[in-house]
Amino acid sequence: AQSVTQLDSQVPVFEEAPVELRCNYSSSVSVYLFWYVQYPNQGLQLLLKYLSGSTLVKGINGFEAEFNKSQTSFHLRKPSVHISDTAEYFCAVSANTGRRALTFGSGTRLQVQP
């Protein structure tokens, strides 16, 4: 089974500042990793994913994440945030064989302040 830990429940940041949202995972098998974003009263939207290959992956809205196998981490970063990035961000993991369901972390609320 897989598990995901998002270390920060809330991250306040000023507009145009950089931000990092932390995610650590646990799994006994190789995994796929994802970041999703949820805006108020909406479903989750895929930001980016890591399947294999380059450990730095780029997604929509200027976000990127780096897979670190030795530290079992998949942190999300953005060099300059906007007010519109205010949302809940979820890290998720699935095994790359067998069971295909995603396991989600508890979420990080990114609050961008002017």
Partner 1 sequence: DAGVIQSPRHEVTEMGQEVTLRCKPISGHDYLFWYRQTMMRGLELLIYFNNNVPIDDSGMPEDRFSAKMPNASFSTLKIQPSEPRDSAVYFCASSLGGGPNGYTFGSGTRLTVV
Give Cβ neighbours of residue 29 (< 8 Å, ≥ 6 apart). Answer: 95, 96, 97, 98
Q: Considering beta carbons, is residue 38 or 86 the nearer one to partner 1?
A: 38
97/114 with CB nearer partner 1: 97
Closest to partner 1 by CB, 13 vs 59, is 59
- Residue ranges that bind partner 1, judged by CB under 8 A: 32, 34, 36, 41-46, 49, 51, 90, 94-96, 99-107
CB of 32 to partner 1, least distance (A): 5
Q: Using DSSP, state whether 75 is helix, strand or coil.
A: strand
Give Cα separations from 106 to 6, 23, 61, 73 (angstroms).
6, 10, 22, 15
CB of 103 to partner 1, least distance (A): 7
Check if the beta carbon of residue 50 is closer than 8 Å to that of residue 57.
yes
